[in-house]
Structure 1
């Protein structure tokens, strides 16, 4: 038997490795493809999602009862950072750090080019797992809500902005070399399995309103895509958003997939905007020469 073929990716994985129909940076795609080939994703993850999915709904039910509410942001984030440092794979950790940067860039681009220019830019660009103790997941959600509050109601512009009118002042291109991760032998857990383990803790250690807002914040993806599409004249960007209709609040059902698709959305929108930024930069450089 030829055992060398066991380590080769399947025909489908080879196909999506070469599919650039949707924008995504090669570094992110490589990380995701490697994470997909983690055996635990296919063997352990379904069981974890089943068991902890049931537990999540039980916790959700008790948190909705008229009982005193409590939250423990600091303890929650310390536990997450410790677990990521020791048990979550390098690929999954890099995808998490990339997500902070890609979403911060997308939000800052939206704010800088919106009619209401009075805003405080998002500063969440952690370079290591330890940085996430300050740049917590709760802060990540709250920055999104804060920025939307500062931007106020959206007024669809009559004309999209021209390439030389776009403001990239707060844009920080993602540089994989800046991420600081020390790989350990114990880091074997894939991205989705890690999320399945932690989703119950998030529900338990946040107030019911904080958790409800966090899991519904994904639905602002559609609003972000619509607004940026208006600004640059690309209405098709809204098709990238899997999570939609922010006025319809949902519970924790299908949370793992919604969480993952939010990550894909920010990666794809970031990659699309980065391509436009580089194209405009190159055109400006060639015109000056």
Structure 2
């Protein structure tokens, strides 16, 4: 496979500018270049252009039909382990390397963001980080556990804050020590001729499977967890004292649950929001480190001159 995506491997033509090149060169968002390159390569694929428009309405129709089927199925019927085995099987054999890489990164970045909030909270709160290194690691019901972790974290954090009459607020010197690049190299992802399905198409396809093999309660909770992007963004913004960091986190209001029909598209937004928030935290970490180094250098200069 080519090392560079088409929009970077083709000469720039002012008469026919590439929208993907424009998005890649744009620096208004904080995404690091490797992530942006992988995201745009996947987004500009032929799969997303030609497969997604047919797959999306089919997937949404299946969501409606499965919802009707759930009326007659036993309320607690589920096959979560089978679901995760099927998801891992499909990801390894049909999904692009870039999409698989972004999916595995998501677990690590989400865990780091929650740990950042927990460590900078005025009250201690436990976290349960999920850090898969391979696609097979997902078989341990990691998608389901990811949703449970998010709700449990919000509940435990706010129980502790309410019990002590406290709130999250600006921290003079936030702890950024948990932030780092996930140990998941893009080169380790499956890269064969049949790994062609883009991220958005894969998510649209997997969403009805998620609904079918989980209980109705689990599926609705998973869908509603997407509303918490704004909530987690608010927590981080309060700690940093920087509400402007919320501008790139837009997955609708947490108090207004949306229909599950758009869960696939909103899941893509969720992944991008996580990347954006993590990148913003890393940027603030680098700024803080740079300011500390500059202050240390100034103090050393003052000491030597005296």
- Per the normalisation by structure 2, the TM-score is 0.84
Q: CA deviation at 1:280?
A: 2.1
Cα gap change, 1:212/1:65 in structure 2, threshold over 3 Å: closer, same or farther? farther
Per mean C-alpha deviation after superposition, the further-off stretch among 217-226 and 56-65 is 56-65
The CA deviation string for residues 168-225 of structure 1, in whole angstroms up to 9 with x for no partner, is 3433433553873242221111111111211111001111111001011011111111
Aligned match of 1:53: 60
Q: SS of 1:152's equivalent? A: helix
Matched, 1:84 2:91: yes
Aligned match of 2:170: 160
Tell whether the 8 Å contact from 2:42 to 2:198 is kept in structure 1 after alignment. Answer: yes
Tell whether the 8 Å contact from 1:88 to 1:190 is kept in structure 2 after alignment. Answer: yes
CA distance in 1, matches of 2:122, 2:182: 26
Q: SS of 2:261's equivalent? A: coil
Q: CA deviation at 1:122?
A: 3.2
Which of structures 1 and 2 has the bigger CA Rg? 2
Q: CA deviation at 1:135?
A: 5.9
Of 129, 132, 138 in structure 2, the residue corresponding to residue 132 of structure 1 is: 138
Number of residues paired by the alignment? 281
Tell whether the 8 Å contact from 1:69 to 1:207 is kept in structure 2 after alignment. Answer: yes
Of 256, 274, 289 in structure 2, the residue corresponding to residue 248 of structure 1 is: 256
Tell whether the 8 Å contact from 2:63 to 2:261 is kept in structure 1 after alignment. Answer: no
The CA deviation string for residues 45-87 of structure 1, in whole angstroms up to 9 with x for no partner, is 1111111211111212332568432121111111111111111
Tell whether the 8 Å contact from 1:63 to 1:208 is kept in structure 2 after alignment. Answer: yes
Cα gap change, 1:179/1:152 in structure 2, threshold over 3 Å: closer, same or farther? farther
CA distance in 2, matches of 1:57, 1:229: 37
Q: CA deviation at 1:105?
A: 1.2
The CA deviation string for residues 83-114 of structure 1, in whole angstroms up to 9 with x for no partner, is 11111110110111111111111111111111
Aligned match of 2:287: 279
Matched, 1:11 2:18: yes
Aligned match of 2:211: 203
Matched, 1:185 2:185: no
Cα gap change, 1:221/1:144 in structure 2, threshold over 3 Å: closer, same or farther? same
- Gaps of at least 5 residues in structure 2 are 1-5, 298-306
Tell whether the 8 Å contact from 2:45 to 2:198 is kept in structure 1 after alignment. Answer: yes
- Gaps of at least 5 residues in structure 1 are none
